[in-house]
Amino acid sequence: MSPQDTLDIDTACTLPFPRQTVFDAFARPGQLALWWGPDGFSNVIHRFEFENGGTWEITMTASDGTDFLNRSTFTEIVAPERIVFRHHEPIHLFDMDMRFEELGPQETRLSWRMRMPATEENRLMAKFFALANEQNFARLERVLAGLR
């Protein structure tokens, strides 16, 4: 995707946990399944090959029972600093760049950049994507707090 044909959605938060802990919450599928997705979703991870070129397959189930099968490919993993993956169809094609910045021993800034084709549908959905990402962060923080 060339920059002029793309839409970027940037979302970030600061979490009161060490960077490795935040990174591991994604890298460990048992933890990831607990918080991935917007509010009201539950998850079943079918495949999780956490390596460059690896496949991630997850079924996200909405509160109304609707299943959404998602397939992604990891394109870059630099532990505990960065995770990049490409989310494939069926719903929305996008690249996700996740950055884990250590602000202190017990503080991490997590930032996400979703880059997708600048279609009319994606422009209309941009506010939903941003809200869903914020909900992801809140769910992540609750799961990490419960692990303390």
Interval 27-81: pLDDT, tens? 999 999 999 999 999 999 999 999 999 999 999 999 999 999 999 999 999 999 9
- Rounded CA gap, 13 and 86, in Å? 22
Within a 10 A sphere around the Cβ of 23, how many other Cβ atoms?
A: 22
Of 9-18, 84-93, 109-118, least confident by mean pLDDT is 84-93
What the chain holds in terms of domains, given with CATH numbers, is 13-147 (3.30.530.20)
Q: Partners of 60 in the beta sheet?
A: 43, 68
Instruction: Supply the pLDDT for residue 80.
Output: 98
Helix crossing, 120-147 with 19-27: angle to 10°?
Answer: 110
pTM of the complete model: 0.93
Interior/surface letters 40-76, b for 16+ CB within 10 angstroms, e for the rest: ebebebeebebeeeebbebebeeeeeeeeebebebee
pLDDT > 70: percent of the chain:
96
